[in-house]
Amino acid sequence: MDRHIEAFLEMLAAERDAAANTRDAYRADLEDFAAFAAGYGISLSAAEPALLRAYLGSLRARGLAARSQARHLSALRQFYRFLLREGVREDDPSAGLDSPRPGKPLPKFLTPAEIIALLDAAGRLPGRSGATAVAALELLYATGLRVSELLALSPSAITAGEAAILVRGKGGKERLVPLSPAAVAAAERLLAGQETPAGRKPGRWLFPGRDPRRPMTRQGLALLLKQAALSAGLDPVAVSPHVLRHSFATHLLANGADLRSLQTLLGHSAIATTEIYTHLTTERLQAAVARHHPLARRRT
C-alpha cells in the first residue's frame, strides 16, 4: 500500500474514529486512483488536477453513477487536504474540481404486460373496490391524467357516445383528452354501480369517497392500486397514479406519438417537461442495441 494512503487511514482512525468499513472504502477508492495514476507513470502524491479530471472521466466511462463518482472525488479531496496539511504537498489538486451532479431521475413506468396483469387483478378485487380500481386504472392509462385531475372528474364527464373528456388541469387550463373504449366502458360500469335501486343518479364525483359528498382521497386511491398490485404479483411500491401517467406517456412515445401531441395530452405548459420521455425511450433503444446487436460488445 502507498505510504501516504496508509498515513491517511491511520489519521482517520486516530483523529476521526472512523469505522473499519469507512476506512476500507477510502482505501479502495484511493488505491483505484493510485492504479490509474500509475498507468501514466505518476505517483499518487504527485498527481495534478488534469490527472484527477481524467480519472473522473474514466469513472463515467466505466458507467459509475454520479453518486459513486462523487464519493471517489470526496475521498481524493480529503486525501489531498491531508497531504497539504502534513506538508507533503504545497497545493490541493482537487480544489478546483466540481462534484459530479446526479442526473434527474427518469420516470418509472410499467410494461404493457404489467398493465394488463394489473387490470386483471383489479377486476378480481371484491365488491365495489374492483369496479373502482379498474375504472381508475383504465382512465389513468388511457389518458395520462394527473391523480388530482382524475379524482376531480364528475359523472357528467363520461357521456354516452363521447370518446373524449374535458379535463381542467393546472392553472385552470382545460384540455380535451381522448378516451379508449375500454376506459369508457369501465367508467360506465362504475357509474351503474353507484345508482340506487330507485334509479337515482350518482352524486357529484365519479370517484366518491366514503363520504359521497367528497371525492376519494389520493391516499384511498393509492391504497386501492397497491391492493391490485399485490394481487397481480407486482411490487406495490412501483404502482401509483403517477407511474400510470408515466406509462401512458412512455408507451405513446415508443409507439410513434410526436412530442407536441404528447405535451398537449399531458397538459404540460412547457415542451421541456415532456422531453424527459425522449431520454427514457432513448435509453431503452440503447439498451436494446447493446443486448441484440451482433457487434455491440466488440472491443475496439
DSSP string across 250-284: HHHHHTT--HHHHHHHHT-SSHHHHTHHHHHHHHH
Q: Which residue among the candidates 4, 27, 146, 246 is catalytic per the annotation?
A: 146
Using alpha carbons only, give the angle 91, 65, 109 rounded to the nearest 5 degrees. 155
Q: Give the pLDDT confidence score for residue 300 in this predicted structure.
A: 45
* 245 is known as an active-site residue: yes
Q: What is the pLDDT along the chain (300 residues), one digit of tens a residue?
A: 789 999 999 999 998 888 999 999 999 999 999 999 999 999 999 999 999 999 998 998 888 888 889 999 999 999 999 999 999 999 999 998 888 776 666 678 899 999 999 999 999 999 899 999 999 999 999 999 999 999 999 998 887 667 888 888 888 888 989 999 999 999 999 988 876 555 556 678 999 998 988 999 999 999 999 999 999 999 999 999 999 999 999 999 888 888 899 999 999 988 888 887 776 666 555 555 566 566 555 544
Q: Give the pLDDT confidence score for residue 283 in this predicted structure.
A: 56
Q: Which residue among the candidates 55, 80, 141, 277 is catalytic per the annotation?
A: 277
Distance CA 277, CA 110 (A): 14
* 251 is known as an active-site residue: no
Helix (H, G, I), strand (E, B) or coil at 165: strand
Q: Which residue among the candidates 245, 284, 291, 299 is catalytic per the annotation?
A: 245
Distance CA 34, CA 195 (A): 74
Domain boundaries, the chain: 3-85, 112-290
Q: Which residue among the candidates 170, 201, 260, 279 is catalytic per the annotation?
A: 170
Residue whose C-alpha is closest to residue 63's, from 298, 276, 286: 286
174-178 and 164-168 as β-strands: parallel, antiparallel, unpaired?
A: antiparallel
* 277 is known as an active-site residue: yes
* 104 is known as an active-site residue: no
Task: Check if CATH label 1.10.238.10 holds for domain 112-290.
Answer: no
Q: Which residue among the candidates 242, 251, 284, 298 is catalytic per the annotation?
A: 242
* 200 is known as an active-site residue: no
Q: Which residue among the candidates 268, 279, 293, 297 is catalytic per the annotation?
A: 268
* 201 is known as an active-site residue: no
